[in-house]
Amino acid sequence: MDLMDTIILAVIEGITEYLPISSTGHMIIASSLMKIASDDFTKLFTIVIQLGAILSVLILYWKRFFQSLDFYFKLLVAFIPAVILGLLFNNIIDELLESPIIVAILLIIGGYVLLKVDDWFKSNEELDLNNPEEHTKISYSSALKIGFFQCLAMVPGTSRSGASIIGGMTQKLNRKTAAEFSFFLAVPTMFGATTKKLYDYYQAGFILSSDQINYLIIGNIVAFIVALIAIKSFIDYLSRKGFKIFGYYRIILGIGLLLIHFFIYPITTI
């Protein structure tokens, strides 16, 4: 990796982390197309720069994080499935993270779901979208179910935000409320994934060089700035228009990747 690779990947992370189009999938695709070397630091980088995206949520919604202990307990309950399943299937997940073809297929499947989801949960939009306390209507059982939906994103190409937002909508939440809870849930989920990845990296005997530390710092700063813009734009668009544009995007991208792989040149793993 070099500085330009760092900036490009960080921009992609910032844009895609909170959109239902799979940030991990886009990072895998971009790394593959950019011919970035398949090494442990590259894989570490794609996880650690999520910290910048996390910070954007904390800045935009800081008042929510000082509201009540009940809010934290619900996030904890929703986070538990990812901890358990992540530890159980860690090796399988690592293997899936190296497959652009799996990403392409899941992009198409997820795209079809997004084309239908607005119609499936049309009645949810009758909720008051302007109620700043809307997230308090999430029960503990609903939080746990949303957490299990989030685990679907352990397969790259699914989209953590997309899975958790749809999970929220199955619990009678409107699009905005489900999206915001998905953002909040991203904080412990990404922080946990980053901590685990750093621990594994050092346990394997690797040490970060000064250049690599600089890349991580720059990557997080860029991801933070871009994610701030992406979140504000996404919430506004989602509340008014719904998911269809993201569904079309996923399908077009997925089909395009398969065509490139099978008819132009094979897309290698990162």
Q: Among residues of the chain, what percentage have pLDDT more than 70?
A: 90
**Residue 127 is assigned to a structural domain of this protein:** yes
**Residue 242 is assigned to a structural domain of this protein:** yes
Determine which of 34-48, 51-65, 91-105 has the lowest per-residue pLDDT on average.
91-105
pLDDT for the residue 37: 65
Give the pLDDT mean for 229-257.
90
Domain count, the chain: 1
Q: Which residue has the higher pLDDT, 243 or 43?
A: 243
**Residue 269 is assigned to a structural domain of this protein:** no
Q: Would you say 30 and 8 are in contact if contact means Cβ atoms under 8 Å apart?
A: yes
Q: What is the pLDDT of residues 81-129, one digit of tens each?
A: 988 887 777 666 666 555 678 888 999 999 999 999 989 988 877 655 5
The amino acid present at 190, given as its one-letter code, is: M
**Residue 164 is assigned to a structural domain of this protein:** yes
For the whole model, what pTM was predicted?
Answer: 0.84
Q: Binning pLDDT at 50, 70 and 90, where does residue 135 land?
A: very low
Whole-number average pLDDT of the chain: 85
**Residue 270 is assigned to a structural domain of this protein:** no
Could you give the CA distance from residue 50 to residue 41 in angstroms, rounded to a whole number?
A: 14
Which structural domain, as residue segments, surrounds residue 16?
A: 3-264
Q: Would you say 31 and 47 are in contact if contact means Cβ atoms under 8 Å apart?
A: no
**Residue 140 is assigned to a structural domain of this protein:** yes
Highest mean pLDDT among 21-25, 126-130, 148-152, 191-195: 148-152
Could you give the CA distance from residue 127 to residue 228 in angstroms, rounded to a whole number?
A: 26
**Residue 148 is assigned to a structural domain of this protein:** yes
**Residue 63 is assigned to a structural domain of this protein:** yes
